[in-house]
Structure 1
Amino acid sequence: MKIDRNPVAPGPVISGFARGGFRIDDNIYRALLITPQRADGWTPPALDVLAEDDVAPVLALDPPPEFLLLGTGDALVRPSPAFIAAVEARGIGVEAMDSRAAARAWSVLRAEGRWIVGALYPLGG
């Protein structure tokens, strides 16, 4: 019996950081919307005006994701209570952390086969 100690779930994998963005395959995304099926560049609004509609493409999965992993840039910044309430009203949790931590968490959680989505704000520099 073969045991794979490093399982990789199908879909995009954030393999590192480059030029202020996130490396996925041969692409660099400054800001990112990511699902278990695809990764897309994103032009996010200022975090204090982030609304459910801004992340709607990743929330529309079937089945719905367990939670939205929200990377808030270089530092953790809490999203507005209205944003959290709107996403949670769909039955989807919100986990906010700085974007580097969110990228690392994405890889770990997807390796576990978790059905999650992400919205990652740019890194500084």
Structure 2
Amino acid sequence: MKLHQSKVKNVNQFTAYDTTGVKVNDERFEGSVLVLPNEIHTWRPTSFADLTAEDFAALLGYEPELVLLGTGSKIQFPHPLLYAALSSQRIGIDMMDTGALCRTFNVLTAENRRVLALVLHS
């Protein structure tokens, strides 16, 4: 699905998504990806079942105020022990489908929020 271009400048914005990947600023990324307002990285887990506590603990270095986890076409919820490192630092985490993640990230970055998006595609 193509998203409408926003007027936000100098921050990453999701511009499209489908079942195998996303576009950020019209650049396509397939597989799992970590997106911050000003950075994009590949992310180690290749599927929801591949998530570990270490994957979430590694996010602390980015100092997000909120983490969005996109789990594909349907919402899946990891066990709270997996993201306990985030919770212990009072960093919020929201699970959602990929489309909702893209829309939510775009709104939050437009508000200058320190949001981190994790997109899982297998």
TM-score, with length taken from structure 1: 0.77
* Counterpart amino acid of residue 68 in structure 2: L
What is the alpha-carbon distance in structure 2 between the residues aligned to residue 122 and residue 45 of structure 1? 7
What is the alpha-carbon distance in structure 1 between the residues aligned to residue 21 and residue 50 of structure 2? 22
Judged with a 3 Å threshold, the aligned counterparts in structure 2 of structure 1 residues 47 and 19 are, in CA distance, closer, same or farther, namely closer
Gaps of 5+ in 1: 1-5
Gaps of 5+ in 2: 1-5
Task: Say whether residues 1:88 and 2:87 are aligned partners.
Answer: yes
Report how far residue 60 of structure 1 moved.
Answer: 1.0
Aligned residues: 116
1:69-102 alpha-carbon deviations (Å, 9 max, x no partner): 1111110011111023222112211111011110
What's 1:10 paired with? 10
Task: Say whether residues 1:20 and 2:17 are aligned partners.
Answer: no
- Aligned-CA RMSD value: 2.3
What is the alpha-carbon distance in structure 2 between the residues aligned to residue 110 and residue 15 of structure 1? 13
Secondary structure of the 1:81 match is coil
Task: Say whether residues 1:118 and 2:94 are aligned partners.
Answer: no
What's 1:100 paired with? 99
TM-score, with length taken from structure 2: 0.79
Could you tell me whether the CA contact under 8 Å between 1:34 and 1:118 is conserved in 2? yes
What's 2:71 paired with? 72
Q: Greater Rg, structure 1 or structure 2?
A: 1
Could you tell me whether the CA contact under 8 Å between 1:12 and 1:24 is conserved in 2? yes
Task: Say whether residues 1:34 and 2:52 are aligned partners.
Answer: no
What's 2:48 paired with? 47
What is the alpha-carbon distance in structure 2 between the residues aligned to residue 80 and residue 96 of structure 1? 11
Judged with a 3 Å threshold, the aligned counterparts in structure 2 of structure 1 residues 70 and 57 are, in CA distance, closer, same or farther, namely same
Identity of aligned pairs, percent?
28
